[in-house]
A and B are shown apart, each in its own frame.
Chain A
Amino acid sequence: GAVVSQHPSRVICKSGTSVKIECRSLDFQATTMFWYRQFPKQSLMLMATSNEGSKATYEQGVEKDKFLINHASLTLSTLTVTSAHPEDSSFYICSASTGLPIPETQYFGPGTRLLVL
């Protein structure tokens, strides 16, 4: 149980284009979904938190107009990197929280490797 998928697993795009990453909770309804960014050999950095039907809450320093988050349903959240630049190249990980059986437990997707040329 508690499986989270991400698509695509890796993507290469040209500078200036937009890229959408999907995050799905496959066997549970996620009350909250999270988006993280991870640089090589570093820890996870929280980008934003989203609740279904509400606007995402972004961490300080994260541009909300660049990283658009849509949490359209209890099983799907999307992250769109708009007008991507090489510095946006990174590993993006989503997670989902059910609130049960133990609150605040996050289950993570396998991640998306983004390379902007």
Chain B
Amino acid sequence: AQTVTQSQPEMSVQEAETVTLSCTYDTSENNYYLFWYKQPPSRQMILVIRQEAYKQQNATENRFSVNFQKAAKSFSLKISDSQLGDTAMYFCAFTYNNDMRFGAGTRLTVKP
């Protein structure tokens, strides 16, 4: 069974600074997909970034980028120039054959 681990229950960062959220996963599959979703207080799940396991190049979406280390089964999210609107729960997710599994989440607070 696939498992996803987020070892940082809570993190905080000053506005305009950079923060990295950690995620590790366990799988015996080779071609899978990884995601970071953001859940603000409204509880709407928002797709932040996604990575195909067969691509070596790390995905980037504006201020958000990932460090994907396939051999280490690590998938961290870096948020640059943090903004107050980035305050939310962040969930790392792994999916294979449409079976998506989430980590426990990291609550990020951006401080002014």
Which of A43, A91, A97, A107 is within 8 Å of B102, CB to CB?
Answer: A43
Binds B, one of A13-21, A71-79, A98-106: A98-106
A112 to B88, CA, bound (A): 19
Interface stretch among B18-26, B38-46, B66-74, B77-85?
Answer: B38-46
Q: Once A and B bind, how many residue pairs between them come within 8 Å at the CB atom?
A: 50
Interface residue range, chain B: 20 to 34
B7-53 residues at the A interface, CB under 8 angstroms: 33, 35, 37, 42-47, 50, 52
Q: Mark A2-38, 1 if CB is under 8 A from B, else 0.
A: 0000000000000000000000000000001010001
Which residues on A sit within 8 Å (CB–CB) of B95?
A: 104, 106
Q: Jot down 21 A-B pairs with beta carbons below 8 A, ordered by A.
A: A34-B100, A42-B104, A43-B104, A43-B105, A44-B91, A44-B102, A46-B100, A49-B98, A93-B43, A102-B50, A102-B52, A103-B33, A104-B33, A104-B95, A106-B95, A106-B100, A108-B37, A108-B46, A110-B42, A111-B43, A111-B44
